[in-house]
Structure 1
Amino acid sequence: MTDPVSRTILLLDIERYSDRDDVEQAYLRRMLYDVTDRALESAGIDETLRLRADRGDSVMELIDANSSVPALLRALLTSVPAQLRAVNRMASSSAQIRLRGVVASGYVAIDEHGWVGSDLNHACRLLDAGLLRAALRERRDDFALCVSEGVYTGIVRHDHTGVPAADFHEVTVDSKNGPLKAWLHGPVPEGAAGPRNHSGTGAGGAPVPGASGDGPAPGRTSPSTPPAGGVVFNFNGGAPSFGGSLVGGDQHGVSGGQVTGDVYLGGTGGDAA
């Protein structure tokens, strides 16, 4: 295993991906990668500064710690919503794409199975939190963003140009490792007012409407129940479980580095769900 290094972590996930058929999923994946690439390019982050992992319905980017986080946040708050509006304006109802996003920072190591680090685990749990899912459901916009406590403290609270601190609201997400503090961009979902959310319950333990799922997919009348979220890294003889997806082939690292071989981020190497 490599020594842990500091990275900015970007996660983007497609809402209700598993409710689409294979043709629609392939289209949505292409749109996800295109939106991600354009946003990172607009932030001045080229491919030599990124290491990408595919999760089937989402994408993860480990970004060189020397890259500008304010520029990344500006791109996510402007470029991503604009791209989604343009794509969805021309797409059929079943091909509409809506995204949840998380920006975090921390230390990540790489071993023969994939990426390792508690900061990475925390970022993934924020992405899968009921509060972030509810925030996207309740918005007319097609994008909901949450940042970690570290990103808020180090970047957002200083009110950089294009990253207004007043637009971020403190929330707390329960996880198996205890409460995780984070900051949600835009309104806090109804029923989760205040700096609390229990991944399915709001203030006072009241259920957050629809917290068990994302709501019906565009063009669907009877959506299936979404799979349970969560991230499990098992390095005691088993492959890490990461939403059931994997990354195959050579993975190009940060600043020209390269990880050779299959980097598994789920199950035993089956198809992405």
Structure 2
Amino acid sequence: MVEIEGFASAGRTNMHRLSLRAGLYDVVQGALAGSGVSWLDCYHSDLGDGVLVLAPAEYPKAVFSELVPAALAALLAEHNRVHRLPERIRLRVALHAGEVSYDAHGRTGAAIVHAFRLLHSGVVRDALASAVGDLAVIASGWFYEEIIRHSPVSRPEWYRPVLVEEKETAAWGWVRLLGPEQEEDVGRALG
């Protein structure tokens, strides 16, 4: 799940928002493709200021922490280099895995609800707001313990534990900030 920071801010016009949405889809689709994940294989639902992407179980979960964040950061840097300030994109990304239920209207399930709670938590919003870079990734406790912690490629040392308290949810998450001064950025933003 991916969401644009400050999408509805007063300094942005509807034209800016159209540019932001086009950039969001270019960046997300490009990062997935560059990581070996086909957009067409995934279920995706537009969120207005973001997109919910559900990857099929055939894809290794590690791809989403090992490859996708760096690809997103690189594509965000390219996008932001050529766009005016109101059309520059900073993203929050939530990583989680779990069971999903299907109905005639789309997808639902506790796993999706949990990912939304992580993505909308004050702790990840605050981390990105004080970061130098353009990307904050928050992984669920489960995703960190089962996937990221066991992968030297995912750089588990660049994640910091945070307590997420959002609506009915109180759970541990793990935040990683990606930007030009990543390691210093994480420490400063998360204290």
Fold shared, TM-score > 0.5 on shorter chain: yes
Structure 1 residues 21, 160: closer, same or farther in 2, change over 3 A?
A: same
- Answering whether residue 88 of structure 2 is matched by residue 96 of structure 1, we say yes
Query: What is residue 181 of structure 1 aligned with on the other side?
Result: 172
Matches within 5 A, 1:8-27: 11-19=1-9, 20-27=12-19
* Greater gyration radius: 1
- State the alpha-carbon separation in 2 of the partners of residues 188 and 130 from structure 1: 17
Structure 1 residues 94, 120: closer, same or farther in 2, change over 3 A?
A: same
Identity %: 29
Structure 1 residues 188, 102: closer, same or farther in 2, change over 3 A?
A: farther
1:171 to 131, 138, 162: 162
1:106-129: CA deviation from partner (whole Å, max 9, x where unpaired): 111111233221111010011001
Query: What is residue 143 of structure 2 aligned with on the other side?
Result: 151
1:187-211: CA deviation from partner (whole Å, max 9, x where unpaired): 2665x64xxxxxxxxxxxxxxxxxx
1:47 to 29, 33, 39: 39
Q: Which amino acid aligns with 1:155?
A: I
Q: Which runs of 5+ in 2 are unaligned?
A: 178-185
Query: What is residue 66 of structure 1 aligned with on the other side?
Result: 58
Q: Which runs of 5+ in 1 are unaligned?
A: 1-10, 194-273
- State the alpha-carbon separation in 2 of the partners of residues 132 and 178 from structure 1: 14
Aligned residues of 1:70 and 1:160 also touching (Cα < 8 A): no
Structure 1 residues 179, 189: closer, same or farther in 2, change over 3 A?
A: farther
Shift of the alpha carbon at 1:84? 1.0
1:219-245: CA deviation from partner (whole Å, max 9, x where unpaired): xxxxxxxxxxxxxxxxxxxxxxxxxxx
Runs of 4+ in 1 over 4 A off after TM superposition: none
Matches within 5 A, 1:224-243: none
- State the alpha-carbon separation in 2 of the partners of residues 178 and 29 from structure 1: 29
Aligned residues of 2:162 and 2:172 also touching (Cα < 8 A): yes
Helix, strand or coil for the counterpart of 2:55? strand
Structure 1 residues 114, 188: closer, same or farther in 2, change over 3 A?
A: farther
1:10-63: CA deviation from partner (whole Å, max 9, x where unpaired): x11011111221111111001000101111111211134200000010001010
Aligned residues of 2:35 and 2:71 also touching (Cα < 8 A): no
Query: What is residue 182 of structure 2 aligned with on the other side?
Result: none
CA RMSD across the alignment: 1.6
1:62-112: CA deviation from partner (whole Å, max 9, x where unpaired): 101120222222333311111111111111112111111111101111112
Helix, strand or coil for the counterpart of 2:98? strand
Query: What is residue 126 of structure 2 aligned with on the other side?
Result: 134
- State the alpha-carbon separation in 2 of the partners of residues 23 and 85 from structure 1: 21
2:113 to 106, 121, 142: 121
Structure 1-normalised TM-score?
A: 0.63
Q: Which amino acid aligns with 1:168?
A: Y
- State the alpha-carbon separation in 2 of the partners of residues 140 and 70 from structure 1: 26
